[in-house]
Amino acid sequence: MKLKFTKMHGAGNDFVVIDAINQHIDFGPEEWRRLADRRFGVGADQILVVERASSPGVDFRYRIFNNDGGEVEQCGNGSRAFVRFVVDKGLTRERSIRVETMSGIIAPRLEEDGKVTVDMGAPRLDPAGVPFDSAGLVGRPQGVDTLWPLALTVGGAEQEVLVSVVSMGNPHAVQVVDDVDSAPVAETGPLIEHHPRFPKRVNAGYMQVVDRHHIRLRVFERGAGETLACGTGACAAAVAGIRRGLLDSPVRVSARGGELSIAWAGDGQPVYLSGPAVTVFEGEIEI
Ligand SMILES: N[C@H](CCC[C@H](N)C(=O)O)C(=O)O
């Protein structure tokens, strides 16, 4: 079939966005994976599929597929691209939208300056909520957060990495590093992503604290590898840093692809993510 799509990015985290309201899409994981492939398809970190909502009081539903074709619960940068898309396509006249995702309702808002702020909902930090298997592990209390030791085998040598586990609807394991540029993201990112203690795999965050209101962040994403920015990863890192007493809200997050801003008022409160959403080109592909 001929498929119309829009190529977008949020701070360098790139997407293929599909209008599934005006196009009938009946793809499986293989088609999503081929569409996201950077050689055999259009290429993107994630595919975003825009549908009419099925629940009352909600405007849209959007589904998220990683580069590996797997459907996932949440995408922070994607939620901003989604808003830019539905406004630019005239699918809504609203600027504040309630949208249903696999992990619940989020509320993005298109600001006058073109940035988008998203109420990403409240984080979960209990292992069952992530999901994370903490059986037999002794957590290391750090402030009001707990650090969990992950045993990794890197180059044949055993090492232990201490991570905060946070769910933003999707799972994150965040560690503090001295310098993100020299952090072993390529070596340990895949090992953390596939660690047996994360039954649904996990996004691996590497956070460098610049000051109490600023971090540098790299994320090896579940199902996509290292991306230039990760919205939910930025939320998870800011939450972990605030709970550990290392950061104060708001937190400026410098990713390799651009700047994001996170605000969080503490336990049980929603995390607000702000940042850019850019349309790169429109296209059509036979798939
Ligand atoms: N790789 C993520 C989904 C995309 C999240 C990221 N692109 C964002 O902006 O939040 C996962 O498997 O949970």
CATH of the domain at 15: 3.10.310.10
* 77 is annotated as contributing to ligand binding: yes
Supply the pLDDT for residue 1: 86
Q: 225 with 117, same domain?
A: no
Q: 264 with 131, same domain?
A: yes
pLDDT of 164 higher than 90? yes
Any atom of ligand 1 within 6 Å of the Cβ of 77: yes
Residue 151 binned pLDDT confidence (cut-offs 50, 70, 90) = very high
pLDDT of 185 higher than 90? yes
How far apart CA 206 and CA 227 sit, in angstroms, is 12
Output the residue whose Cα is nearest ligand 1's atom 4.
75
Do 210 and 221 touch, CB atoms closer than 8 A?
no
Number of domains in the chain: 2
Supply the pLDDT for residue 114: 85
Return the exposure string of 203-215: e unless at least 16 CB atoms fall within 10 Å of the residue's CB, then b: bbbbbbbeeeeeb
Residue 115 binned pLDDT confidence (cut-offs 50, 70, 90) = confident
Q: 43 with 163, same domain?
A: no
230 tagged catalytic: yes
Q: What are the distances in angstroms from CA 39 to CA 27, 35, 42, 139, 201? A: 19, 9, 7, 43, 25
In 10 A of CB 156, how many CB atoms?
5
Do 13 and 45 touch, CB atoms closer than 8 A?
yes
Residue 266 binned pLDDT confidence (cut-offs 50, 70, 90) = very high
Supply the pLDDT for residue 229: 98
Q: 51 with 178, same domain?
A: no
- Mapping DSSP to helix (H, G, I), strand (E, B) and coil, where does residue 60 land? strand
Do 177 and 160 touch, CB atoms closer than 8 A?
no
Q: 161 with 253, same domain?
A: yes
* 95 is annotated as contributing to ligand binding: no
Any atom of ligand 1 within 6 Å of the Cβ of 103: no
Expressed as residue numbers, the domain containing 189 is 127-269
Q: 229 with 113, same domain?
A: no
**Beta-sheet strands, E only, within 67-212:** 71-72, 99-101, 104-110, 116-119, 140-142, 145-154, 157-167, 171-176, 203-211
Supply the pLDDT for residue 63: 97
H-run or E-run covering 234: helix 231-243
Any atom of ligand 1 within 6 Å of the Cβ of 241: no
235 tagged catalytic: no
- Specify the pTM: 0.97
Q: 102 with 217, same domain?
A: no
- Tell how far the Cα of 114 is from the centroid of ligand 1, in angstroms: 22
Q: 83 with 147, same domain?
A: no
Q: 28 with 131, same domain?
A: no
Strand partners, 221: 225
Q: 96 with 173, same domain?
A: no
- Mapping DSSP to helix (H, G, I), strand (E, B) and coil, where does residue 235 land? helix
Any atom of ligand 1 within 6 Å of the Cβ of 215: no
Q: 179 with 199, same domain?
A: yes
- Tell how far the Cα of 76 is from the centroid of ligand 1, in angstroms: 7
Which residue from 64, 103, 192, 219 has its CB within 8 A of the most atoms of ligand 1, so it is best to mutate? Answer: 64
Residue 191 binned pLDDT confidence (cut-offs 50, 70, 90) = very high
Any atom of ligand 1 within 6 Å of the Cβ of 203: yes
pLDDT tens digit sequence for 35-83: 999 999 999 999 999 999 988 889 999 999 999 999 999 999 999 999 9
Q: 147 with 242, same domain?
A: yes
